Amino acid sequence: MAGLRHGGLWRPVLAALALLAAQPVAAQQAQGAGEAVVLPRAPILTLDRNRLLAETRFGRALETQFQTDSEVLIAENLRLEQALESEERALTDRRPSLPAEEFRKLAEEFDAKTEAIRAAQDAKSRAITSRRDAERQRFLQAAIPVLADLMRDTGAVAIFDKETVILSLRGVDITDEAIARIDAVLGDGSDLDAAPEAGPEPAPEAAPVAPVAPAPAPAPGP
């Protein structure tokens, strides 16, 4: 009964659906080779932005680069962690033969070194994430003229991200056509200017020559 009492809330939605249904909505991607794609004619279109990033050549190139950068950082983190653990064991082994004050000083130096490396690696991780976000934004900005042409060709006045739409007709989804056009116009994005990137500070090297920190000192995690 509550649904009936508040039925007025759905009137704008139903009116919008009626308007869309009244428009000649075309078939989606033609299945036969060589058949022309008939675009929808509707005032409002929907688009799956996640699919643009995942299925266009440009979007896939960005994701591949992000994965490569992440894997390089993970390998670097592992190498640094192993080096620090080696230093820590070496210092622990030396503890019985060192004066207490000298050992304390070496342990403090190792702790400071460990924290500096951890901070530098965290900064690198944040830089990779920021660069990915900037590249995705660059991709979406580069796609705007392509989407604007698609709007003109369909007579639409707006394109909504499908994630923000509660309900829509499948015929107004132009994601497939958008992917095809973006691939044709932008390719893999290699001809476009890259987003500016801020280089993270280099991480200090964990050289096994330096004594290692006391056993209580935690090894840095990636």
Distance of alpha carbon 26 from alpha carbon 49, whole angstroms:
21
- Per-residue pLDDT at 38: 63
Distance of alpha carbon 220 from alpha carbon 151, whole angstroms:
51
For the whole model, what pTM was predicted?
Answer: 0.64
Phi then psi dihedrals of residue 121, to 5 deg: -70, -35
At 217, the pLDDT band (50, 70, 90 cuts) reads: very low
Query: pLDDT tens digits for 22-70?
Result: 444 433 444 444 455 567 677 889 899 999 999 999 999 999 999 999 9
Using DSSP, state whether 44 is helix, strand or coil: strand
